[in-house]
Amino acid sequence: MAEERGPKGDAHEGTGHIIQSLVVNLLIATVKAVAAFFTKSGSMLAEALHSFSDCGNQILLLVGVRQAKKPADERHPFGYGRAVYFWSFMVALMLFLGGGAFSIYEGVHKIREPEPVERVWLGIGILAVSLLLEGGATLSNIRELNKRRGEKGFYQYLKDTTDSDLVVVFGENSAAVLGLVFAIAALGLAASTGDGRWDGIGSCAIGLVLVGVAAFLAVEVSSLLLGESAAPEIAEAARETAKKFPALERVLNIVTMQQGPGEVLVHVKIAFTPALTVEDACRIINDYEAALREARPEVRWVFVEPDIPRTPSQLKLLRAARAAGDT
């Protein structure tokens, strides 16, 4: 009934983890590309492409975070918060196609037509340094995740969080670390056995890691992109806040939707006490909205709909209508 926008959350403000990963990946990608040229290693080439792909992905994330900050307008009355989810999904797509699929293709080619790997120790040395840099970036990313997740389990936070940009960067960094381990192992085996097929196997392993991470990110982000309900704590806060107002007899229904990181829409259907004037009802609704936003600052939009509880006969008719619609 009454609606008012709350203050915008600060979830979009931190882009340091993205910029840090972009700088590290750009440096690593350049060094890997030079090493791939001199070593003629498929695993090294796969890693170079992976790092360049990560650079492009982080630029897309920065675009998404910047776009999500745009204020609401007539065409997008709920703002642009979901833009970060769209660009995160594009990152998952690029990671699959630009990194995973090509690495597997290159690996199959190297297995079918193996070539000797040259300057192996140069390649291993560069990969080892890259592993240290990527490991540092990943640890920094993990510290940021730990700071945000609170008491929630790490994996559960990755599944539940709406900070898709942070999860995407963590997924990329983790894939990079695992890919570097595979690349070092593949080069070492190719050099020690003299069998160039190990290099191709390493490239395929890197590709499979990227495909797996891309699939996980796509599944997690697609739910947010389609319109996911907010954390259960938001609905619980809406119910608890209603108890503070005697004129609000009962909360009949609550619908929440995540509009972006730190941006939640709440629709509440509430039964009021009888004989309230319109003026009193509007005042109570406004006070309720203010109290809910104070309790949960991430709530940016609140819609309160006064209603009356359905009678048993009305509920019976409603259930019958729903059952008929399912047949």
Compute the average pLDDT of residues 71-82: 88
User: Would you state the pLDDT for residue 2?
Assistant: 45
On whether both 43 and 165 belong to a single domain, the answer is: yes
Q: Is residue 8 part of a domain?
A: no
Q: Is residue 268 part of a domain?
A: yes
Give me 33's structure tokens.
């590309």
Q: Is residue 83 part of a domain?
A: yes
On whether both 214 and 236 belong to a single domain, the answer is: no
Q: Is residue 127 part of a domain?
A: yes
On whether both 154 and 280 belong to a single domain, the answer is: no
Which of 226, 244, 273 is the last residue before a domain boundary?
Answer: 226
Q: Is residue 33 part of a domain?
A: yes
| Location of structure tokens 């609704």 | 285
**Model confidence pLDDT, tens digit, residues 12-37:** 446 777 787 788 888 888 888 888 88
| Domain that residue 261 falls in | 232-326
Calpha distance 317→197 (Å, rounded): 69
On whether both 119 and 209 belong to a single domain, the answer is: yes
**Model confidence pLDDT, tens digit, residues 223-272:** 888 888 998 999 999 999 999 999 998 899 999 999 988 899 999 999 98
Give me 260's structure tokens.
């972006």
On whether both 216 and 271 belong to a single domain, the answer is: no
Q: Is residue 3 part of a domain?
A: no
Q: What angle do CA 94, 117, 39 make, to 5 degrees?
A: 65
What CATH number has the domain bearing residue 258? 3.30.70.1350
On whether both 97 and 242 belong to a single domain, the answer is: no
Calpha distance 242→202 (Å, rounded): 58
Q: Is the pTM of this model over 0.85?
A: no
On whether both 189 and 259 belong to a single domain, the answer is: no
* Total domains in the fold of the chain: 2
On whether both 304 and 176 belong to a single domain, the answer is: no
User: Would you state the pLDDT for residue 245?
Assistant: 92
* Rounded alpha-carbon distances, angstroms, from residue 215 to 16, 48, 108, 218: 25, 21, 21, 5
What CATH number has the domain bearing residue 56? 1.20.1510.10
Q: Is residue 319 part of a domain?
A: yes
Which of 171, 194, 226 is the last residue before a domain boundary?
Answer: 226
**Model confidence pLDDT, tens digit, residues 81-133:** 888 889 888 888 887 877 788 888 888 988 988 877 778 888 888 888 888 88
